[in-house]
Amino acid sequence: MSRIIVLRDRTDNWRRPAVPLAASVAPLRPEIPAEPMLEVVEVDPAGLRQLMRDPSVLTVAPAMPTRIVNPEPLDDLRSTDVVPGWGARAIGADWTQSTGAGVRVAMLDTGIDKAHPAFAGVTITGQDFVGTGLSDANGHGTHLAGTLLGRDQGGTRIGVARGITDLKVGKVLSDNGFGRTDGFLRAVLWAFREQADIIAFALSFDIAAQVEVLTRDGYPRVQATTAAVNAYRGNLRIFELMMEMMCATGGPLLLGAIGNDSLRVISPDFETAASAPAAARHVMAIGACGPGSEEDPGLVPAVFCNVGPALVAPGVGIVSASLGGGIKTLNGTSMAMAHAAGVAALWAEVMRAEREAVTARSLAAKLISTATRKGLRRGQTILDCGFGLVQAPRARLD
């Protein structure tokens, strides 16, 4: 028996064409909500074939492992080099009047330490998708939430959008940093139904772990690798179809950490592209940057950051909330993504005040059009920094 994710279409808007290469979907009928219908079932090969005879089934894929976008070591960063709040200053969060008030954000990660004083005054609504409870014994989710909206700690600023009071937390990674795609996809749909304006995540579909699972189940190594790649592709396809269905009526903006899989510190050749699901259509992949050297100043891509981001944000030496109270410093594209999610919340507040619709498309366009290359080291290409460094709304002049 295999654990299979099933995506259904209840509206008949997304049916596959009967003729290959024909138009992929019929015109949308706006009177019918285009909400995805997701199921997870246990079936054998015969049951899978029977399932695919159901005309409401759009596509299926085997559930596969996911893993956290792990923080990178701080070995190359002396404690004296850490400047708390430098990220907020770099993106202009310290001179904007916007706070993110009224904006609803969903963070899909390792849960949250709800008792941390950084979240005082925040209504946290959560759901556990891994079966270990909403509390965060890992610390990653707590750190991200602190960067997103955390209140100042001991005079140290950690949060970008400190006016957010409504946070949705989906625990999609267990305390050891691992999860499954079915939990992540169900969490995305949950956040959509909770009417989140922004959905943020920092995980990747884990092909290597899927190969190991299949090998233990008796698959020859070559077949296991092929099956794992097919599972990766199938899960990505489900995710992209879900996003198309959600965005057809506006939908939330999804921001994903691009990944920490590059090894530029060893060789410039050791770069890799965005990991899925951040690589999916309808997702803004966020890369990490950090300060350059005294001899060659300007923000530069972090040595661990994957290439090809839509935007970059501070992700080196980021001070934020730690488990049990207090603060700690982490590196990673996860930290950059949390900065970008905070900036997105600031812009969503401004757009609503100006009676501009806040949708995935309009909010993404705002982030791209207001990004800057000022402060970035010269010579960087779109592979390095995408459209540039995210920027908060500027303060208004009375």
Question: What is the DSSP code string of 297-362?
Answer: -SEEE-TTPPB--SEEEE-SSEEEE-TTSSEEEEBSHHHHHHHHHHHHHHHHHHHHHTT----HHH
Distances (CA, A) of 265 to 76, 290, 302, 389: 10, 14, 9, 22
Judging by DSSP bridges, how do beta strands 123-128 and 166-171 pair with one another?
parallel
Per the model's pLDDT, the better-predicted residue between 30 and 334 turns out to be 334
Which of the given ranges, 22-36, 60-74, 97-111, 376-390, has the highest pLDDT on average?
Answer: 97-111
Q: Evaluate whether 202 touches 256 at the Cβ level (below 8 Å).
A: yes
pLDDT of 248: 80
Q: Give the Cα separation of 105 and 252 in Å (integer).
A: 9
Is the overall model pTM greater than 0.95, yes or no?
Answer: no
pLDDT category, 31, cuts 50, 70, 90? Answer: very low
Cα-only R_g, the chain: 21
- Across the range 116-130, mean pLDDT stands at 98
Q: Give the Cα separation of 314 and 337 in Å (integer).
A: 9
pLDDT category, 254, cuts 50, 70, 90? Answer: very high
pLDDT category, 34, cuts 50, 70, 90? Answer: low
Whether the per-residue pLDDT at 19 is higher than 80: the answer is no
User: What number of CA atoms fall less than 13 Å from residue 317's CA on the CB side?
Assistant: 20
Residues 6+ apart with CB under 8 A from 273: 279, 306, 307, 308
pLDDT of 81: 63
Burial classification of residue 260, based on how many CB atoms lie within 10 Å of its CB (0-12 exposed, 13-18 middle, 19 or more buried): buried
**Using alpha carbons only, what angle is made at residue 60 by residues 55 and 61, rounded to the nearest 5 degrees?**
175
